[in-house]
Structure 1
Amino acid sequence: MRVRNKPWAKGYMADHLDRLVVEPEPLKGNWQSRFPSNQPLFVEIGTGKGQFIIEMARQYPDRNFIGIEIQTSVIAVALKGVVNSGLTNIQLVHTDGEAINTFFEAGEVAGLYLNFSDPWPKKRHTKRRLTSPVFLAHYADVLQPEGQLQFKTDNRGLFEYSLGSLNNFGMVFEGVWLDLHAATDGVEDIQTEYEQKFSKKGPIYQVIAHFPTNN
């Protein structure tokens, strides 16, 4: 998807480095220093314009949240939303979430969100999918024991691939929804901008799982 350039983005980002991290590696193992309170840390990879992560931070003041986004114009919009919200339990990171184990310590993350990731539909791009084994290995490195991975998409092909990938990795499924918005089991659904726009065109799929623990 082509993102329109925002001339104000870089200047705005430079003015709000109290809410935005551009070099995450030095913070490995010390992310709580970016927050006023030491609280469980939850991470969203591909935070987009920030609607999901901001609402999560608002609803869960007893948690700290980090939203990772690589596209400059997109994260600038998210940053503006964070600043305007006044919430102090949320930080944004301007980087690629491909190797999160390079800037989070083992067990530093309590939960991880993947919302409407790029489906990379061509077979030769399988390894780029955020639920491919190489990415799952990184998530397993940084998540606490039984820390949840929540994956949500409107792409059936990606969802089917992801179920297989998670299963083959030995993950424990806590819930699978083939039509999240029609669910009657009271599952939480804080929606992203994309979700609100495209849910009318078809079902939203979701899986929540955690990595196996050694007893």
Structure 2
Amino acid sequence: MARLRKKWWARDAMETSGVFIEDNYAHKGKWNEVFGNDNDIYLELGCGRGDFVVNTAAQNPDKNFIAVDLKDEVLCYLARKCKEMNLNNVRFMALNIMLIQNVFDKDEVKRIYLNFSTPWPKTKHNKRRLSHPKFLELYAEFLAPKSEIWLKSDDKPFFVDSAYYFKDSGYKLSYLTYDLHNSIYADKSVRTEYETKFSAMGKKINFLIAKMK
């Protein structure tokens, strides 16, 4: 994997975007006040440069979106896109996802997107997967009843394991396909940067929707 080069301008771009959350833990239980409405909150964990979240938010102005990643070097691009597109329904933060349960209160989030998360193929590293039961337990602390988790991946072993994780953690799989772009959700799911790249290489995209019972 290519190493991200330090971008000295990144933090300034984020802080002047008007949508960057500097204190990740200050709004727990009060996120609707941040957006100034009572619209449902959708969360993307591992947003990268932000193509997915900004385009999804633009198509769904009646929803609020919060995007999370760790590196300033990718989040700075999201900051620019939000500013260029004048999006008022997006906020983003730099955060280790292991700490995500400290950010939201009970029933505060209606949907989570896990797009092309790191598959961590070695068995000893499986617990780092964002779909692992350990993380699903964290998400349950702030997901509202009947919430959904939408997962996309090009890695089939990771995807198959994730489907079992959801079932074992009390979720119902309301939809699953091993070929998203030839499914009924082909036009309903915005493509990510990785998705565009992998599709051009001829890879099929796996997709599922897991619903809390």
Whether these two folds match at TM > 0.5 is yes
Tell me the TM-score normalised to structure 1 length.
0.93
Give the percent of matched residue pairs that are identical in Structure 1 and Structure 2: 33
Q: Corresponding residue for 1:208?
A: 209
State whether residues 174 and 208 of structure 1, in contact with CA within 8 Å, keep that contact through their aligned partners in structure 2: yes
SS of residue matched to 2:7:
coil
State how 1:2-151 maps to structure 2 within 5 Å: 2-16=3-17, 18-151=18-151
Write the distance in 1 (CA, Å) between the matches of 2:191 and 2:68: 17
How far off is 1:23 after superposition? Answer: 2.0
Q: What is the one-letter code of the residue matched to 1:114?
A: L
> Within 2, Cα distance between the matches of 1:143 and 1:7?
36
- The SS at the match of 2:73 is helix
Question: Which structure 1 residue ranges, 5 or more long, are not aligned?
Answer: none
Q: 1:102 to 1:184 in 2, by over 3 A?
A: closer
1:30, 1:90 → 2: CA distance?
A: 15
CA contact (8 A) 2:180 2:186 kept: no
**Counterparts of 2:144 and 2:98 in 1: how far apart (Å)?**
19
SS at match of 2:74: helix
Preserved contact between residue 9 and residue 72 of structure 1 (Cα < 8 Å): yes
Which runs of 4 or more aligned residues in structure 1 lie more than 4 Å from their structure 2 counterparts after TM superposition?
Answer: 184-187
Q: Which 5+ residue runs of structure 2 have no aligned equivalent?
A: none
The offset of 1:187, in angstroms, is: 5.8
User: How far apart are the structure 1 equivalents of 2:113 and 2:13?
Assistant: 26
Please give the per-residue CA displacement for 1:101-139, whole angstroms capped at 9, x wherever unaligned.
111001000111000001111111111000111100111
Q: What is the CA–CA distance in structure 2 between the aligned matches of 1:196 and 1:108, rounded to whole Å?
A: 31
TM-fit CA distance, 1:58: 0.6
| Distance across 1 between alignment mates of 2:127 and 2:12 | 34
SS of 1:61's partner is: coil
Q: Does the CA contact (< 8 Å) of 1:108 and 1:143 recur in 2? A: yes
Task: Report the 3-state secondary structure (helix = DSSP H, G, I; strand = E; otherwise coil) of the residue aligned with 1:20.
Answer: coil
Measured against aligned partners, the alpha-carbon deviations of 1:4-23 in whole angstroms (never above 9, x if no partner) come to: 2222112222323x310132
CA RMSD of aligned residues (A): 1.4
Greater Cα shift, 26-35 or 43-52: 26-35
Q: In structure 2, what is the equivalent of residue 193 of structure 1? A: 193
CA displacement at 1:57 relative to structure 2 = 0.8
Q: Distance in 1 between matches of 2:92 and 2:83?
A: 11
Instruction: Identify which range, 182-191 or 147-156, moves more after superposition.
Output: 182-191
- The CA deviation at 1:166 is 0.9
Contact 1:154–1:199, Cα closer than 8 Å, also in 2: no
SS at match of 1:210: strand
What are the Cα deviations for residues 27-81 of structure 1, in whole angstroms up to 9, with x where unaligned? 1001112213221110000111111110111111111100111111100111111
The letter for the 2-side match of 1:59 is: Q
TM-score normalised by structure 2 residue count: 0.94
Please tell me whether the aligned partners of residues 101 and 141 of structure 2 are also in contact (alpha carbons under 8 angstroms): yes
Q: Which residue of 2 aligns with 1:159?
A: 159
